[in-house]
Amino acid sequence: RFRHSRQQGSTTLFMQFSNISEGSSLPKYLRLSITPATQGSPRKMQLQTCVRKFRRRRIQTNEQSKRTTYDDALVDLHAQVHFGSAEYFHYFNDPTEFGKNYDRILYELIVSDSLMEIDPEGRRRVKGKNTLMPSLSDQKTAQQCDLVCQLDVIDFSQNSDWICSDYSGEDIVEKQKSFGKNSKLPGAEIFQSLSMLPGAEIFQSLVMPKTPMEMNLGDLRLFSNLFLSGQKLATGLRLVLWTIPVPEISVLLLDWSSMGKGGRISPLALPVLENLLRGNFSIAQKLVFSQMIVSGQANEGSSSFIIGERNEKALQELEKSTDVDGCRNTALLYGALHCRDMHRKLNKMGYQLIGEEKWRTAWAVNLDGDIEISSSSDETNSKSRINRSVVGIVAVSFYLLVSGVDWIATLQDIEVDASLGHGYGSLVTALAYLLRHVALYFSLAKFIIQWDIGLFGGDNSFR
């Protein structure tokens, strides 16, 4: 498609491309890459983020000389995660490897205006190198997963070309206040407050899917809905399933069947179980954390404030940089979960995807823990696969046995309390059973099922 703009003596032709057709899937900006064991090297899982290049081309024709010139604006969209290895983040501080490629770097950062320098044109820059620090919760997460925080490494104040293209902390607070007021749902403010309480997600799991991809209830489909809405049918069946043995597995299968995109058992499920059995809890936690992050990109979030509106803010700053400041090489550093929506919006602004994508490793995990690999022969690898299968079968069998015994014991306790007239005792026993298995569901949902169909598929989201 083309758009014309006529100025004195010349005509400008804006070339508008659309790499993404309406309704088609967007490319992934996060993937998990598993490398097999080789001689002296164990299996490894790498969480990788993508860099894609876009170009907006304007064709200018002088009406007198009939000479045609091209005015290109280039944008590199760097997907980021907020935790990673120090090497992953130091790349952005390197002026020769990264900084020299761009005349403007726009980044995502929610921070108070008191920590920023704001120029007359409204551009926001971090005041100094030691101005920012991660929250205590982020520091704890990084420490538990043996990673570092983005804010501990990247210097966002390294030069004037680095500009924050995000909302300020004050703006975020105002937006959150207006959310409840503008909602048409009765009691929206109360519901929003309750949803922020510790453990709220566990209780919500009783009636609605709570998976890393945060499914939209309006998209639920089950057995062609059987003349009922997908949400009502799935919720009713869900409540029934919590009363049977091993309910968390049945509910997970219900979620899988109603998500409308398919799915499969995650290749990380067995490595997580293996490392838990070996006592490598930090490795298991890091694997679960990796899959949760990647699964989150199944929700594009274009209509939400946390993704959609903040992306609009970033692209407004991009437009100002290219059309007002004349920048022709811009880097957009944004969270990976923002990038699929950002990709779509860049297309609508006339930017065309060009060149080859690049993948950078944010962190790597040794799937075999401390086990040494002395040979890469087919026989050794075959034995390793058999051993892992045995571990999986034993672990699943033991889990089902314990869960079944728990269900029988719970029924017996309820029956005893009921026969003695202890109604409250029966209720407490039933609630305790529900709480245990809802917590198990919430934990298993993070790594057993691959919620994003492309996560380990053939669309470059897994290799």
Measured in whole angstroms, the distance separating CA 107 from the mean position of its chain's CA atoms is: 18
Structure confidence at residue 306 (pLDDT): 80
What CA–CA distance (Å, rounded) separates 318 from 348?
Answer: 14
Structure confidence at residue 319 (pLDDT): 94
Structure confidence at residue 228 (pLDDT): 45
Strands 148-149 and 124-126: unpaired
CB 344, CB 25: distance < 8 Å = no
What CA–CA distance (Å, rounded) separates 322 from 373?
Answer: 52
What CA–CA distance (Å, rounded) separates 364 from 18?
Answer: 35
What CA–CA distance (Å, rounded) separates 91 from 128?
Answer: 19
CB 294, CB 30: distance < 8 Å = yes
Structure confidence at residue 209 (pLDDT): 67
How many other CB atoms are there within 10 angstroms of residue 443's CB atom? Answer: 13
CA angle 395, 294, 279 (to 5 degrees): 30
CB 324, CB 238: distance < 8 Å = no
From residue 292, give the alpha-carbon distance in Å to each of 31, 347, 369, 376, 445: 11, 28, 20, 31, 9
What CA–CA distance (Å, rounded) separates 344 from 358?
Answer: 19
Residue labelled with tokens 């298991």: 284
What CA–CA distance (Å, rounded) separates 221 from 219?
Answer: 6
What CA–CA distance (Å, rounded) separates 217 from 237?
Answer: 14
What CA–CA distance (Å, rounded) separates 197 from 205?
Answer: 14
Structure tokens at 365: 């995990």
Residues 6+ apart with CB under 8 A from 200: 194
In this predicted model, what pLDDT tens digit does every residue of 98-108 receive, in sequence order? 999 999 999 99
Strands 104-107 and 329-335: parallel
Of all helices (H) and strands (E), which one includes residue 52?
strand 44-62
CA angle 447, 451, 455 (to 5 degrees): 90
Structure confidence at residue 300 (pLDDT): 59
CB 195, CB 183: distance < 8 Å = no
Angle between the 247-258 and 230-241 helix axes, to the nearest 10 degrees? 170
What CA–CA distance (Å, rounded) separates 148 from 282?
Answer: 15
Q: Is 445 helix (H, G, I), strand (E, B) or coil?
A: coil
What CA–CA distance (Å, rounded) separates 231 from 229?
Answer: 5
Angle between the 247-258 and 423-444 helix axes, to the nearest 10 degrees? 50
How many other CB atoms are there within 10 angstroms of residue 446's CB atom? Answer: 20
What CA–CA distance (Å, rounded) separates 235 from 441?
Answer: 15
CB 448, CB 265: distance < 8 Å = yes
Residue 71 burial by Cβ neighbours in a 10 Å radius (0-12, 13-18, 19+): middle
Q: Is 352 helix (H, G, I), strand (E, B) or coil?
A: strand
Q: What is the pLDDT along the chain (463 residues), one digit of tens a residue?
A: 434 444 444 444 444 444 444 444 688 899 988 888 776 677 889 999 999 999 998 777 666 666 666 678 999 999 999 999 999 999 999 999 999 999 999 999 998 999 999 999 889 999 987 788 898 989 999 998 899 999 999 999 999 999 999 999 888 888 767 655 554 444 444 444 545 455 566 667 777 666 555 544 444 444 443 444 456 777 778 888 888 898 888 888 777 766 555 556 777 887 888 888 778 888 888 988 888 888 777 665 555 678 888 999 999 999 999 999 999 999 999 999 899 999 999 999 999 999 999 999 999 998 876 554 444 445 555 555 556 667 667 777 888 899 889 999 999 999 998 888 888 888 999 999 988 888 888 778 777 766 655 444 444 444 5
Q: Is 212 helix (H, G, I), strand (E, B) or coil?
A: coil
CB 220, CB 231: distance < 8 Å = yes
Residues 6+ apart with CB under 8 A from 405: none
CA dihedral of 449, 451, 454, 455, whole degrees rounded to 10: -60
Cα dihedral 222, 224, 226, 229 sign: positive
Of all helices (H) and strands (E), which one includes residue 61?
strand 44-62
